[in-house]
Amino acid sequence: MSAPTFRIAVLISGSGSNLQAIMDATRTGEIAGEIVLVLSNRPGAAGLTRARQAGIPAEVIDHQPFDTRAAYDQALGQRLAALEPDLIVLAGFMRILTDPLVRTFSGQMINIHPSLLPAYRGLHTHERAIAAGETQHGCSVHYVIPELDAGPVIAQAAIPLTPNDTPATLQARVQAMEHQLYPQVVSWIADGRVALHNDQVWLDGQPLTHPPRITAETEH
Ligand code: GRF
């Protein structure tokens, strides 16, 4: 009997370039799993088209008709629970999730954030890294916990920040790294190499003291 398929749900709000990288990696087999649903809170998200073109089910649960964040998250949670996903991947899903939803999927939900966490949680990370005169910047994949961008980090990718960088150049270079890092982390989880135990990330049977880093040598 073959092993059951590792079921991945991807939540998006926009372009879906990270979704694309993950779709590509499932197609090539780099990720041993299947994207069972792409879900957007915005009807116009370009990532929905990417999914449909690849033959992946894509749905919208528009947040606008919902009166409260709690009501929206309840609807979202019900849809996700019905899917029985092994992993929920937030890929540019631009909503803050409520505690009950996050707790329901504790250890099963990951996010990518454009900074070297714990530095620069929240928005405008590239602008803030430049303004602070950082020499390094990057992105992090972390488990989602109720506190925003504060969950245990699984892995990071770092790039040097040069004096010529603008928020736009930096965003492009960080995103190129995101497209390497995110599929890699999803593949580790699908392979059973990464898990969350008592708020601690474990990789290959060891508690992680420092999240592994992809560095700029592989930047392209
Ligand atoms: C990414 O840059 C990610 O860091 C942030 O949202 C962006 C999503 O981009 N969380 P895309 O929709 O994957 O192109």
Summarised one tens digit per residue, pLDDT across range 9-42 is 999 999 999 999 999 999 999 999 999 999 999 9
How close is the Cα of 92 to the center of ligand 1, in Å? 4
Contacts of residue 125, defined as CB under 8 A and 6 or more positions apart, other chains included, come to 113, 114, 115, 137
114 within ligand 1 shell (Cβ under 6 A): yes
92 within ligand 1 shell (Cβ under 6 A): yes
Q: Whose CA is nearest to atom 6 of ligand 1?
A: 92
Check residue 42 and report its DSSP letter.
Answer: S
pTM for this model (two decimals): 0.96
The DSSP-derived string for 140-203 is: EEEE--SSTT-SPEEEEEEEEPPTT--HHHHHHHHHHHHHHHHHHHHHHHHTT-EEEETTEEEE
Span 106-129, pLDDT tens digits: 999 999 999 999 999 999 999 999
How high does pLDDT run on average in the chain? 96
Question: Which of the listed residues 12, 13, 18 should we mutate to test ligand 1's pocket, taking the one with most ligand atoms within 8 A of CB?
Answer: 18
